[in-house]
Structure 1
Amino acid sequence: MRRYWLIFAQAVTVCLAILFVVTTLRPDLLRVNGPGTVLPATAAAGRAPAGDVGAVSYADGVAKAAPSVVNVFTTKHVNVPLIPLPDDPVLRQLFGQMPGVSRREASTSLGSGVIVNADGYVLTNYHVVQAADAIEVALRDGRRDTAKVVGADPDTDLAVLKLSKLRELPAATLAPDKGLRVGDVVLAIGNPFGVGQTTTQGIVSALGRNGLGLNTYENFIQTDAAINPGNSGGALVDAYGNLVGINTAIYSESGGSMGIGFATPIEIARKVLDDIVKTGAVKRGWLGVEPQDMTPELARAFELPRDAAGVIIAGVMRDGPAARGGLRVGDIVQSVNGKRVADTVGLLSEIAQVPPGQRATLGILRSGKPADLAVVVGTRPGKPR
């Protein structure tokens, strides 16, 4: 019996020695790729082993997206009236200015943009280039070019630029529509405060944010990735470097990032881009009504349940699409083409997606009775630029 115990002890000793050698020289042989795996300390610190970068680093995604993000510099010339000088030839000769003459000063601002086409089309925010007299775009590789506004959509605060000379440019990869989920990792790339291209990381905090009073059509991605002045028009990308949104606004009481940023989703930006490139403008469906959200008090007045949903028609434009279709003041719109609408934002959004000239079926309540109304949708009048 003693002999067996001796053999067993020797075998355990040999196994422990082999395990020690393997652990010291080839620890990768002991790694298990599966749920609950604990990464080595070097990986946890951001220095992942070769071939395993994607699990702990977003460097590949940044390398893919960053070349397509540009800095946008705009210049606006302002006439500044001069104070008339005394009628003294000596003073006029000294200052070189005649009474009543004004001078032109250049006011320069900055923002960001995203190259979305190798032929030189750039997506940015409308407020970045609004009223600009000159636009210059700087690429990450140091190249510069002038640009002009091909078209703009103030309703979504988006604009499309076209570079003058540069071609065969690094274009962003657009992500599929509605592929984001709350909790997904996102990266914001832009030119905050003019310090140069910067990447910040966060997650998708919320989807479908609206009612912020920023645009006519609001369906923002909310993120806690740091967005600051100068990031406007820049890229919001997923962990793989695909463009998921255009950074548009921040909530801030100090002027800097407070962890609440808003980006226009790629499904909206894609439609604006396609329409502007094809026709120079964005066309949306329009009814010509004054909508009003349902409230518990209004629901009581219409003898409806307190939690009733829908949009009350408070006004109808004379000879507008809604008037021609028979919609009346006091009607309550509850659906558009079979899709329920709960508030004014939902109604405007659904109608905007209907191509002008096509019929939209409105599910309404009139005098408490349900009915379907077919309305030929018109074209929403554009805002003056």
Structure 2
Amino acid sequence: MTSFRQFRLACCLLLASASVSSGVLVGVPLAHAQDVPQSREEISLSFAPIVKQAAPAVVNVYAKQIVRTAPSPFADDPFFRHFFGDGGFGSPLGVPRERARNSLGSGVIVDASGLVVTNYHVIRGADEVKVALSDGREFEAEILLRDEQSDLAILKISDGNADFPTLSFADSDDLEVGDLVLAIGNPFGVGQTVTSGIVSAVARTEVGISDMAFFIQTDAAINPGNSGGALIDVKGRLVGINSAIFSRSGGSNGIGFAIPSNMAQAVAAQALAGGTEVVRPWIGATFQKVTPDIARSLDLPRPQGALVVKVFEGSPAEKAGLAVGDLVLAADDYEVANPRSLEYRLTIKGIGETEKLVVLRDGAEKTLTVSLESAPETVRADEQLLDGYSPLTGATVANLSPRLAERLRLPSDQEGVAVTKVEPRSPAAQLGLQPGDIVVALQGHAVASSRDLKRMTSQKQRLWRITVNRGGRLSRLVIGG
């Protein structure tokens, strides 16, 4: 027996020795051995080739806003005019002053004609915009389209003869968590910079950055000035527009957000077609987020989908067969996590197309096909600037229709007139009125139209009683006349 055990041990040692000498480790999968770089070329892998390909299409965006300050309230006081007649800066107290407010961001050229995608917040309020290329050339740029809802803007470089480098769009729906990405932009104005990272998450919808909340999350360093720059994949294609960071210090904490390229492409396409604002598809239904309680009542394993709470008569949703109580689970085979993700799917599909919706009804799934149309203007907006004696003076109001409600992100079934604009330093601004507020009643009388409200505010009153709807909450104000 002893000799047999010795013979078996010798055989095992011989096999192990043979395996090591042949380069194969017994019990170790071959895949692990292949992970080790086998040559100098593999050790010196670099992103340099795709950066050289993509970087020329990423530009710096310089925006200038002329800010006008009101004249001094002491302009007519002889005492102050004697000591401060020139305002201390060569400008009389009674003359409004102007100063320039500059902002810096990044942008991406997506069309050889000089079409640039950037963030809306980079050019918000800008009177002049310049674009600087990586090769040092600078050009004036025209703002073709602003869309605060998606935080995107489209610029056109003012040089019809130049042939500009471009970045091609990738399908951002193909991104997966763990994919390598590069962020290119101009952080802090130090010059074009490239950082690398991975996709940390896709389809983030609860980050509170913009109304159209659907973002790619990445740990590639994004800092102030990167806004509007490119997020590219390892093939050098545009997968996102860098938009914001989550930070308490102002610096990068490894949590950055980018607008998916599919959204940027949809907005750019509308600008190329001559649009000056983004027109989003309307199907004529309103939706509610599914809470844990609602999920339990529907026997769902987790909260998911968009719950239909209203369907408008004659709308595409009604024609498709959508009904109150239906739960939309998927749109064109993409999971719908909540109403915002459904809105994103409809927006990138575009007007004139159809969307296949998978809905849960009475415990069974059904597939419906809904047409995507532009929201109808059932009543003319008829915008009116209120210039009477009321606390609403300085507000521009308009009649509510599905089209205006879509633009202001309001429910289509609200009563009253909507505030579309508020003049700075006006009584309406001092009252705290904001675009999107709905004036429901004045002096106890329902407001039926914008002209009705203008007429009601044209007379002086000792007391003003105003009812305003903001976000579904009614505020009743009583203000001295």
TM-score band, normalised by the shorter chain? 0.7 to 0.9
Equivalence for 1:71? 60
The one-letter code of the counterpart of 2:154 is: V
Moved more, 247-256 or 167-176: 167-176
Equivalence for 2:113? 119
Instruction: Give the Å deviation of 1:225.
Output: 1.1
Instruction: Write the mapping of 1:338-353 to structure 2, written as runs, cut at 5 A.
Output: 341-353=336-348
SS in 2 for 1:116: strand
SS in 1 for 2:107: strand
The one-letter code of the counterpart of 1:101 is: V
Instruction: Give the Å deviation of 1:220.
Output: 2.1
- Say whether the 8 Å CA contact 1:285–1:353 is kept in structure 2: no
SS in 2 for 1:349: helix
Distance (Å, rounded) in 2 between the aligned partners of 1:369 and 1:182: 31
Distance (Å, rounded) in 2 between the aligned partners of 1:78 and 1:319: 47
- Say whether the 8 Å CA contact 1:284–1:354 is kept in structure 2: no
- Say whether the 8 Å CA contact 2:91–2:97 is kept in structure 1: no
Aligned CA distance change for structure 1 residues 176 and 107 (closer, same or farther; 3 Å): same
- Say whether the 8 Å CA contact 1:226–1:261 is kept in structure 2: yes
Equivalence for 2:454? none
Moved more, 286-295 or 243-252: 286-295
- The answer to whether structure 1 residue 213 and structure 2 residue 208 are counterparts is yes
Instruction: Write the mapping of 1:300-315 to structure 2, written as runs, cut at 5 A.
Output: 300-301=296-297, 304-305=299-300, 307=302, 309-315=304-310
- The answer to whether structure 1 residue 196 and structure 2 residue 191 are counterparts is yes
Aligned CA distance change for structure 1 residues 265 and 53 (closer, same or farther; 3 Å): farther
The one-letter code of the counterpart of 1:130 is: R
SS in 1 for 2:111: coil
SS in 2 for 1:232: coil
Distance (Å, rounded) in 2 between the aligned partners of 1:248 and 1:329: 36
Distance (Å, rounded) in 2 between the aligned partners of 1:191 and 1:79: 29
Of 70, 78, 95 in structure 2, the residue corresponding to residue 87 of structure 1 is 78
Q: Deviations over 1:84-116 (max 9, x none)?
A: 344267546655544432111111011001122
Moved more, 242-251 or 54-63: 54-63
Instruction: Write the mapping of 1:275-290 to structure 2, written as runs, cut at 5 A.
Output: 275-280=270-275, 281-290=277-286
Of 180, 188, 191 in structure 2, the residue corresponding to residue 185 of structure 1 is 180
- The answer to whether structure 1 residue 154 and structure 2 residue 142 are counterparts is no
> What is the TM-score with the length of structure 2 in the denominator?
0.62
- The answer to whether structure 1 residue 129 and structure 2 residue 110 are counterparts is no
Instruction: Write the mapping of 1:317-332 to structure 2, written as runs, cut at 5 A.
Output: 321-322=316-317, 327-332=322-327
Instruction: Give the Å deviation of 1:211.
Output: 1.9
Moved more, 329-338 or 181-190: 329-338
The one-letter code of the counterpart of 1:146 is: E
- Say whether the 8 Å CA contact 2:205–2:341 is kept in structure 1: no
- The answer to whether structure 1 residue 231 and structure 2 residue 256 are counterparts is no
Q: Which runs of 5+ in 1 are unaligned?
A: 1-33, 44-51
SS in 1 for 2:340: helix
The one-letter code of the counterpart of 2:338 is: D
SS in 2 for 1:291: strand
SS in 1 for 2:78: coil
Instruction: Give the Å deviation of 1:274.
Output: 1.8
Distance (Å, rounded) in 1 between the aligned partners of 2:181 and 2:331: 33
Q: Deviations over 1:270-311 (max 9, x none)?
A: 222122211324333223433112234224446x45647542
- Say whether the 8 Å CA contact 1:150–1:277 is kept in structure 2: no
SS in 2 for 1:279: coil
Greater relative CO, 1 or 2 (CA 8 Å, sep 6+): 1
Equivalence for 1:382? 407
Q: Deviations over 1:124-174 (max 9, x none)?
A: 111111221111111111111111111133332221100112621222243
Equivalence for 1:108? 102
> Size of the alignment, in residue pairs?
341
The one-letter code of the counterpart of 1:87 is: P
Moved more, 371-380 or 167-176: 371-380
Distance (Å, rounded) in 2 between the aligned partners of 1:351 and 1:372: 16
Equivalence for 1:140? 134
The one-letter code of the counterpart of 1:297 is: D
Equivalence for 1:170? 165
Instruction: Give the Å deviation of 1:81.
Output: 2.1
Distance (Å, rounded) in 2 between the aligned partners of 1:126 and 1:247: 12
Instruction: Give the Å deviation of 1:252.
Output: 0.8
Instruction: Give the Å deviation of 1:63.
Output: 1.5
Aligned CA distance change for structure 1 residues 189 and 336 (closer, same or farther; 3 Å): closer
Aligned CA distance change for structure 1 residues 170 and 374 (closer, same or farther; 3 Å): closer
Distance (Å, rounded) in 2 between the aligned partners of 1:358 and 1:143: 40
Equivalence for 1:35? 34
Equivalence for 1:15? none
Aligned CA distance change for structure 1 residues 307 and 190 (closer, same or farther; 3 Å): closer
Instruction: Give the Å deviation of 1:365.
Output: 5.2
